[in-house]
Structure 1
């Protein structure tokens, strides 16, 4: 994390007159940070940046992606008591939020791996300003980042198609795309999927289809000889409850906004050793 980003977060948390931390005796103390529940870790580097900014000595043997039990020490910290109090909430917030995403992603990846080699990916449904960190938490959980921004690939969604139609939109995308950019098109029916596959795009997203509809579409693409030339992604209203059924359909990618927006924070605590 850049210092400019970090300082914005610190300013928000400390405010103009931090009396609550400043009133304690400023002396060297030790503390540990640990989760109160089993989890997959993420945010280790971010927390370390916070500790370094406040001049604290922090040590850890853990990395993003480690799966640890409740109570296991993530960080051992030594330094100024005042600085430690000021670093506490900010570091715990990042660790709790990002580890929650990594834990959610890990659960989803495990479900899918029982039936398929499909990638589990997140979406652009992220908190503004937090996208890179949230997507890296998905990676820590074994998932795929998908697009970081609109520039990463050309994705033609329902509103593009309403404005231009499939053929015109795809033609214009191919005309203007860099040789490094893939073209992905969102479809809602089997018939649209067959049409778009025939127009030689790179990725087809099956949007808001039921598992049964997805399975029939994948089978139809295979039968037509088009499946081997395109990546098939499914997205829309996929969650822990129905993920297994989507994993059985034969798609290549399962993208889930819920990896981030439905992930529950992990309860992480700092405890002074006195």
Structure 2
């Protein structure tokens, strides 16, 4: 889902926001011909995501900045590990620094949190999936980070698949239709390629939903025992997704119930940005260093 165009759009918008009329500090302080080398260094352990974004930031700021990746998306890293190296215009690297780090830290935080959830499901059939609870404008990047962490993507947008939730059903039932009738009518008006998922919040709703031939049934805010019973009731007639009440303390037991999917909004709406830094050395030509600076 993450295209080069999507990355470029985000990066260009971020750079315009950060330096709409240039970097007045670097332009006044750093000689135009000064070069620099810099390393992206992990201050804590985690899982890397966003290397394509780093490359895009450097390219947009100055195509002559060289970026050497020392790790790939999905790699686990340790504190002190160098993840990437940059060389080129000192002004360019300084302008790229904040945007590159902001995005790398955010995306690596998502990948790291996703990896922790995935680890809790080891030995089960359950797959960890994300939701639409993403940062507006960053959905493609954040969901790519989920994949880097070992998770999978749910529908990307409202246009991709049908997900009938309790409010949808309430409106339909107010028209006098049964749940099964409403869903059958819905499926007749959809393309045969459009998948249909329906949310239920009680065990007694499962049969009337399955009778419509849906693809996936979401068991929303079910307790552990009801999840086990719900999976047994579905009996392979549809994929079973668990949602609600999912955290690192509960996800293992939810996975053990036999569900196929566990959707976790926290992957993108509550991930903590990782601590990454940019260690930089500027090479100022002799005779051009401002007062207080030494040429190196």
Could you state the TM-score of these two structures normalised by the residue count of structure 2? 0.87
Structure 2 unpaired stretches of 5+: 174-178, 283-296
In the TM superposition, what is the alpha-carbon distance from 1:15 to its structure 2 partner?
A: 3.0
Deviates more, 1:169-178 or 1:75-84: 169-178
CA distance, structure 2, for counterparts of residue 234 and residue 20 of structure 1 = 51
Counterparts in 2 of 1:168 and 1:194: CA distance versus 1, 3 Å: closer
Aligned with 1:209 (options 222, 229, 232): 222
From 191, 194, 203, give the equivalent of 1:181.
194
Q: Distance in 1 between matches of 2:29 and 2:84?
A: 22
For the pair 1:8 / 2:17, whether they are aligned, the reply is: no
| Distance verdict in 2 for CA 1:72–1:270, change over 3 Å | same
RMSD, matched Cα: 1.4
Query: Partner residue of 2:60?
Result: 53
Question: Equivalent residue for 1:151?
Answer: 159
What SS does structure 1 have at the residue aligned with 2:151? coil
1:42 aligns with 2:55: no
Greater Cα radius of gyration, structure 1 or 2: 2
**Superposition map of 1:81-160 within 5 A:** 81-114=90-123, 116-160=124-168
Report SS of the residue matched to 2:140.
helix
SS at match of 1:143: coil
CA shift, 1:54, in A, is 1.8
2:40–2:276 CA contact under 8 A, matched in 1: yes
Kindly state the Cα deviation for residue 17 of structure 1 after the two structures are TM-superposed: 5.2
For 1:220 and 1:150, locate their aligned partners in 2 and report how far apart those are by CA, in whole Å. Answer: 29
SS of equivalent to 2:98: helix
Match of 1:224 in 2: none
Q: Which segment drifts farther, 23-32 or 264-273? A: 23-32
Query: Equivalent residue of 2:121, what SS?
Result: helix
Change (3 A) 1:238 1:32: same
Contact conserved, 2:10 with 2:138, CA < 8 A, in 1?
A: no
Distance across 1 between alignment mates of 2:193 and 2:231: 26
Change (3 A) 1:52 1:203: same
Between the two proteins, the alignment pairs up a number of residues equal to: 268
Q: Which residue of 1 aligns with 2:205?
A: 192
1:11-30 equivalences in 2 (<5 Å): 11-16=16-21, 18-26=23-31, 27-30=34-37
